[in-house]
Each structure stands twice: as structure tokens, then as C-alpha cells.
């Protein structure tokens, strides 16, 4: 019995540590999340990227993304991310809390990297829908870091907005069939983030005209590199929606 338990544990640990994704659209299960490479803008540059699942524990996940990209400095090359399998399908009006924690660091970076470290939250009129699809109404980004002078979609409509204990610049603009609202940290990198996302939802409903009948369809968390090279390590990340 003991032997069986040990063997199972070893097998799981070995699978997790061997999990390096290299292909353009490779994904792998990562506990209560899915880890995806998502090199959607690969053709606008030259380079490579990989993502490695480090560990999972309960609703917490740890992973690493290494990337190096050249050319077209204003084009996003990819969005390696984890997608929550459970924090979705809830109307904004029904969200009691949406706690999230994200502890990350650049283990290495070339000089002058252009990249963000960000949440990408998708909402729409129906409970389910793929990110960046015909079902999307809003794309809500939260940039915990934006290096090298990069900018979100649209234009800056507000500075110094206080939400969830941090100060943000708010950017807004259309993309395809949805609106993008991006909160960009006004105070530089936030490497230990621990907030209730309901604060952002409430602000958007009360101050930016987002309907509380919108459903959260997906919460993704990761990095958008433009140019340079870096190793981004997430020590621990979690998100949940309580209704």
C-alpha cells in the first residue's frame, strides 16, 4: 500500500516537472488551470518561446515562460498564460468575491525588454465563450508590469485611478467585436499581487458603463512579449470566483 502511494506520487511529480511546451499552440493541464503557449503573433517576429509547468497544489499553480523575440517592436508575439477551469460562467452581479494572488519575478531579462505581465479577463452576454471570439463583449486587462514603453489597445482615458488598493492608468479602445479596458499599474511592477477582482468588476460597472449582467467567460494570466528576451517565473498564482 505504501509502495503504491509512493509510486503514484513519484509518477505525478515526474510528469509535472517534464512538462515543457514548445509548439505554437501547445497546451497542457495544470491542476485547476490549463497552461498554453499561445504564440498567436509569432509571424510578426523571429524568435522562440517555451513554457514549463513547475507544480500545482490545490488551486495554486507555478510555471515559467522563457522567450526571446526580435523584429516589429510594436507587435505582441504571444500570450503564454494559464486559464482557470473553474473561475468562469458567473454574472458580474453574482460575484461575491474573486480572490486572486500572483507572485512572480523576472529571473533574467535582456536590457530594454518590451513586455507586459498581465491578466486578460473576458466577459460576454452568455455564460460561456472562448476568449477573443464572437462571444466576447469586453476584454479587461490588468497590467502588473509594462516595460519598454509599450501601450495597451486604445488610448489612456484616466490616470491615477484607485482600485483594489493600487493606482492605475485606464486605457480604452475597440478590438474586433469587443471593447478593451486595460488597467496599467501607475507605480511600476507589482510582483506580489493579492486582491479581490470584484473591486475591478464593481469599478467597471459603476464608473465605466459595463453591464452587471455580463458573464465572466475566462480569466487568463500570463505575459505578452514584444521584443527582447526574458525568463518569467511565477512562484504561485491562484484565482477563484465565489458566488
Q: Which is nearer to ligand NAG, 113 or 180 (CB)?
A: 113
Q: Least distance (Å) from ligand NAG to the CB of residue 60?
A: 24
| Residue showing cell 536590457 | 111
Q: Which is nearer to ligand NAG, 1 or 18 (CB)?
A: 18
The bridge status of strand 90-91 relative to strand 99-109 is unpaired
**Residues tagged active-site:** 139, 224
Query: Coil, helix or strand for 223?
Result: strand
Please, are residues 85 and 104 in contact by the beta-carbon 8 Å criterion?
no
84 touches ligand NAG by CB under 6 A: no
**CA dist 172 to 18, 70, 150, 236, Å?**
40, 27, 15, 29
| Assigned C-alpha cell, 134 | 464572437
Find the binder of ligand NAG among 66, 78, 81, 227 (CB under 6 A).
66
Please, are residues 161 and 184 in contact by the beta-carbon 8 Å criterion?
no
Find the binder of ligand NAG among 8, 15, 17, 20 (CB under 6 A).
20
Q: Which is nearer to ligand NAG, 54 or 153 (CB)?
A: 54
71 touches ligand NAG by CB under 6 A: no
Q: Least distance (Å) from ligand NAG to the CB of residue 29?
A: 19
Only one of the segments 65-73, 83-91, 140-148, 157-165 lies at the binding site for ligand NAG (rule: CB under 6 A); that segment is 65-73
As a whole number of angstroms, the distance between CA 113 and CA 227 comes to: 6
48 touches ligand NAG by CB under 6 A: yes
| Assigned C-alpha cell, 11 | 509518477
Which residues are at the interface with ligand NAG (CB under 6 A)? 20, 22, 48-50, 66-68
Amino acid at each position: 500500500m505504501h509502495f503504491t502511494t509512493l509510486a503514484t506520487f513519484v509518477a505525478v511529480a515526474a510528469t509535472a516537472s517534464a512538462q515543457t511546451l514548445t509548439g505554437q499552440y501547445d497546451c497542457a493541464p495544470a491542476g485547476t488551470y490549463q497552461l498554453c503557449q499561445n504564440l498567436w503573433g509569432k509571424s510578426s517576429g523571429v524568435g522562440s518561446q517555451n513554457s514549463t509547468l513547475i507544480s500545482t497544489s490545490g488551486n495554486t499553480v507555478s510555471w515559467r515562460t522563457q522567450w526571446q523575440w526580435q523584429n516589429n517592436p510594436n507587435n505582441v508575439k504571444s500570450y503564454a498564460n494559464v486559464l482557470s477551469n473553474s473561475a468562469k460562467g458567473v454574472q458580474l452581479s453574482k460575484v461575491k468575491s474573486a480572490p486572486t494572488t500572483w507572485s512572480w519575478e523576472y529571473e533574467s531579462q535582456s536590457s530594454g525588454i518590451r513586455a507586459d505581465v498581465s491578466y486578460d479577463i473576458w466577459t460576454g452576454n452568455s455564460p460561456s465563450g472562448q476568449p477573443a471570439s464572437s462571444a466576447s463583449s469586453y476584454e479587461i486587462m490588468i497590467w502588473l508590469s509594462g516595460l519598454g514603453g509599450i501601450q495597451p489597445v486604445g488610448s489612456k482615458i484616466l490616470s491615477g485611478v484607485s482600485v483594489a488598493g493600487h493606482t492605475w492608468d485606464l486605457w480604452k479602445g475597440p478590438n474586433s467585436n469587443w471593447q478593451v479596458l486595460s488597467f496599467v499599474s501607475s507605480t511600476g511592477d507589482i510582483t506580489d499581487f493579492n486582491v479581490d477582482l470584484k473591486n475591478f468588476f464593481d469599478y467597471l460597472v459603476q464608473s465605466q458603463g459595463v453591464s452587471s449582467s455580463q458573464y465572466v467567460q475566462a480569466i487568463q494570466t500570463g505575459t505578452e512579449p514584444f521584443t527582447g528576451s526574458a525568463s518569467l517565473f511565477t512562484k504561485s498564482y491562484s484565482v477563484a470566483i465565489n458566488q
